[in-house]
Amino acid sequence: MRTNIRYLILGLLNQQPMSGYDVKRFLESLSWLVGSPSFGSIYPTLRSLLQHDLVTMEAVLQEDKPPRKIYSITAKGAAALDAWVNKPLPSATSMKGFLMRLILAGSFSPARLTDQMKERRAQVATQWEALKQAVDTVQDPGQRLALEYGCEIASAELAWLDQTLGQIGQQLTVEDVGTIVTP
Amino acid sequence: MRTNIRYLILGLLNQQPMSGYDVKRFLESLSWLVGSPSFGSIYPTLRSLLQHDLVTMEAVLQEDKPPRKIYSITAKGAAALDAWVNKPLPSATSMKGFLMRLILAGSFSPARLTDQMKERRAQVATQWEALKQAVDTVQDPGQRLALEYGCEIASAELAWLDQTLGQIGQQLTVEDVGTIVTP
DNA sequence: ATGTGCATGTAACTGGTTACATGATTCG
DNA sequence: CGAATCATGTAACCAGTTACATGCACAT
């Protein structure tokens, strides 16, 4: 699980300043997709980001409640995020890992986003082929089920990637050429 | 990540006796689906299973190589596996977690397998609804992409589950004329 | 000669969870 | 009257990875 909560949180702070509690709430709403880290990892991560000057913190006092500590990304933090985002996808990226990057797409240039999706497409296509081959050679019924399931998910993912890449491609073309095409 | 390698390994040993190295090779072939644990977790896990009398070990001597240590499941181990397998799915099971159980389907009764798939179906259906709703309320383009992606995967999974449940249902019906569950 | 496959293992580390503590406020 | 929401945090623990050590056989 090279998922590193660190950059996920940094990416959220890049979209807008927020507190640790806000981070939790937000990720909770996406928990099925990327899983929600516990407070026991969020707060220490924020402290670490602060110590490395990747974020700043401003305490907003409230009556009868602990102060909300609002974290904002710094220039150094934005640079670190940018560097991370522009690294190629690790060779065996999980769906969760890819989703994490997708959530941060707002921090990407459009070109980088499409690159990333193409990298992913290539990886999934390779795995799909491998799975299709494996299905025929496996005898155990459970393993077969698992492989078939994997095939199905892979092909759905490929379809989505192709469709979405197509849409983004069209949008970019419209901007570049400056023509509006009515559908 | 309540994925517990422990039961995955125990399940493999239930299918056939094998060595730690064999376990590794096998899981490596499925690494895209469930991820492959490292030797650094496999060997200690096997030792622990041995100490708890869930498996037995027989060393097969080889010339010029370390002996292969072949692990076999015990009655106690089989009982433990059975107990695990018959627990309901944890409320927020990841795709990986479900796949893991699917791989062990050989250790399930057919009835338990279909139950399990129905539990999964219900969970995914719920999440799908939530995602579809969320897509319309989210403004950030990256988050929207992630949610759409999630929707697509969820619907592919539902389709596969329904289709597979249908097939299994037919098989069971042939054996034991019963009712086909409506989806 | 260099690496890959076979085959075992250990120690240090990391990234996370679980469970706790604090304390006011509002809802059923 | 208890439970949930807001809001912070810490310490103990755990599962797993990384990097290492050993050592032979076989291919490039």
- The Cα B130–Cα B138 span in angstroms is 12
pLDDT at position B9 is: 97
The residues close to strand C, meaning Cβ under 7 A, are A 1, 3-6, 35-41, 45, 64-66; B 1-2, 19-22, 25, 39-40, 43-44, 46-47, 62, 65-69
Q: Report which listed range, A72-76, A83-87, A172-176, B132-136, is most confident.
A: A72-76
- Given a cut of 80, whether residue A182 has pLDDT beyond it is no
Question: Are the C-beta atoms of residues B116 and B108 closer than 8 Å to each other?
Answer: yes
A106–B contact, CB cutoff 8 A: yes
Residue A5 CA to nucleotide C15 C1', Å? 9
pLDDT digits (tens, 9 = 90+) for B71-101: 999 999 999 999 999 999 988 889 999 999 9
pLDDT at position B95 is: 92
Confidence bin at A59 (pLDDT 50/70/90): very high
Test A164 with B150 for CB contact under 8 angstroms: no
Q: If we measure between CA atoms, which residue out of B36, B34, B35, B46 comes closest to residue B9?
A: B46
pLDDT digits (tens, 9 = 90+) for B4-30: 899 999 999 999 999 999 999 999 999
Q: Which has more pLDDT, B1 or B110?
A: B110
Helix (H) or strand (E) holding B137: helix B110-137
Question: Are the C-beta atoms of residues B67 and B16 closer than 8 Å to each other?
Answer: no
- Given a cut of 50, whether residue B168 has pLDDT beyond it is yes
Confidence bin at A105 (pLDDT 50/70/90): confident
DSSP letters along A101-152, please?
HHHTGGGS-HHHHHHHHHHHHHHHHHHHHHHHHHHHH---HHHHHHHHHHHH
- Given a cut of 90, whether residue B106 has pLDDT beyond it is no
Average pLDDT over residues A129-157: 92
Q: Which nucleotides along chain C are within 7 A of a protein C-beta?
A: 6-12, 15-20, 22-25
- The helix/strand count (H/E) of chain B reads as 8, 2
Over pLDDT 70: what percentage of chain A? 93
CA of B39: nearest nucleotide by C1' is C9
Average pLDDT over residues A64-90: 92
Question: Are the C-beta atoms of residues A1 and B1 closer than 8 Å to each other?
Answer: yes
Look at phi and psi of residue B18 and say left if phi exceeds 0, alpha if psi is from -120 to 50, else beta.
beta
Q: Which has more pLDDT, A168 or A9?
A: A9
